[in-house]
Amino acid sequence: MALPSSPSATARLLTVPALLLLLSSAALLVFLILPSLSPSPAAHLCACSPPTTTHTTTTVTTTTTTASPAPVTTFPADVAWLKAQLASNSLPLLASHDAWHRLRKGINPRTREQQLFDINRHHGISHYPDEEATNHTALPCPGELLVEEHHSNYGEPWAGGRDVFEFLANASALTPRDQVLEIGCGTLRVGLHFIRFLEAAKFHCLERDELSLMAALRYELPAQGLLYKRPMIVRGEDMDFSRFGDTVMYDLIYASAVFLHIPDKLVWTGLERLAGKLRPQRGRIFVSHNIKFCSRLGGDECTQRLTELGLEYVGKHTHDSLLFNHYEIWFEFRRPKV
């Protein structure tokens, strides 16, 4: 006799087949619908924009700044500023001789002679023993130069060199690229300012005095940090400019208190050799103090001789000193346009 089935067993028998059928139907549905949801490769290529490649370019802007040359002239505003600094520090603009020496008492004043004595015996100076001195000092300098005795070699203060530079640079409209020749540069009282202002190798000098050359080359140039400017300073006399080369052209040639001390004939020899090296029209020759080498010939003869050399007289100038009661007289010459 057959036993009747229980309700729970019947439900399980009906549920399992139905569940299997449901899962199969769902899988079939997903299989059919999924391709339509994913675009085909052809549809992708046609319907969409091609991929964009982005190139990032970094532009580096390099700004080349050309430093302007230092101002040549001392302007009224500069003088006013300095006077204001003196006033703000309660310093007198002028001090008497006695007042100056009273002030010096507090700072152990030394004359150059005393300072030289101390240097020679290394008093108060940390120094290497004699056998090691040359191993540590690249450019051993005589004590006389270290105490700047050569600054007193002139008939006027050392500071007058700046006055000469300011006048000549302004009067000749000098630029750092110009070529300059000084006849008799001495210890570079004037030349230092030109060397500092001009580009490298643009300053030439002919000097005959050995002591002056020692001071210029062994002390002033290294002490002023101007060795890199490579000025051409030549020992020579008799107006021999051959070592400067045959092709050089000068924008400025000057002689400060030099032509006073040499014979007129030699001055004319120098002018003859330099006339062709002066840049036409723009170039200038300046001679200080007087031109007796010319005036002793007489006006007409001097003019004629200058003309034969291709030179002409431009005029006479005076220039005041910035720091002491003094003025200089300068005579200007040029080479007319060829």
Q: Which residues pair with 235 in a beta bridge?
A: 207
Instruction: Give the separation between CA 69 and CA 198, rounded to whole angstroms.
Output: 9
Structure tokens at 314: 């431009």
User: What distance in Å separates the CA atoms of residue 92 and residue 202, rounded to the nearest whole number?
Assistant: 40
Please, which residues have CB within 8 angstroms of residue 291's CB and are 6 or more apart in sequence?
A: 259, 331
Place 291 in a pLDDT band, splitting at 50, 70 and 90. Answer: very high
Instruction: Report yes or no: 322 and 163 within 8 Å, Cβ to Cβ.
Output: yes
Check residue 70 and report its DSSP letter.
P
* pLDDT attached to residue 12: 46
More confident of the two residues 331 and 338: 331
Structure tokens given for 235: 């020992």
> Amino acid identity of 115?
Q
One-letter amino acid of 154: Y
Instruction: Write the CB contacts of 73 (distance below 8 Å, at least 6 apart in sequence).
Output: 166, 170
Rounded Cα gap, residues 159 and 180, in angstroms = 21
Whether the per-residue pLDDT at 195 is higher than 80: the answer is yes
139 pLDDT more than 80: yes
Displacement of CA 334 from its chain's centroid (Å): 28
CA 323 to chain centre: 25
Tell me the residue type at 212.
Answer: S
The one-character DSSP state at 36 is: H
Fold of 157-334: Rossmann fold (3.40.50)
Could you give the angle at which helices 299-309 and 264-275 cross, rounded to 10 degrees? 40
Whether the CB-CB separation of 196 and 224 falls below 8 Å is answered with: yes
Whole-number pLDDT of residue 118: 86
**Stronger pLDDT, 6 or 248, i.e. the higher one:** 248
Model confidence pLDDT, tens digit, residues 201-226: 999 999 999 999 999 999 999 999 99
Residue 180's beta-bridge partner residues? 203, 252
Q: Which of 221, 282, 205, 230 is nearest to 251 (CA)?
A: 282
Token pair in block for residue 49? 């924009």
Over range 231-235, report the average pLDDT: 97
CA atoms of 167 and 318, how far apart (whole Å): 9
Q: Which amino acid is at 296?
A: R
151: pLDDT strictly greater than 90 = yes
User: What are the start and end residues of each CATH 3.40.50.150 domain in the chain?
Assistant: 157-334
- pLDDT at residue 52, as a whole number: 45
Length of the chain: 338
Strand stretches in 196-243, DSSP E:
203-207, 232-235
**Residues near 61 by Cβ (< 8 Å), separated by ≥ 6?**
none
Flag the least confident range among 34-48, 132-146, 197-211: 34-48
What mean pLDDT is predicted for residues 143-147? 93
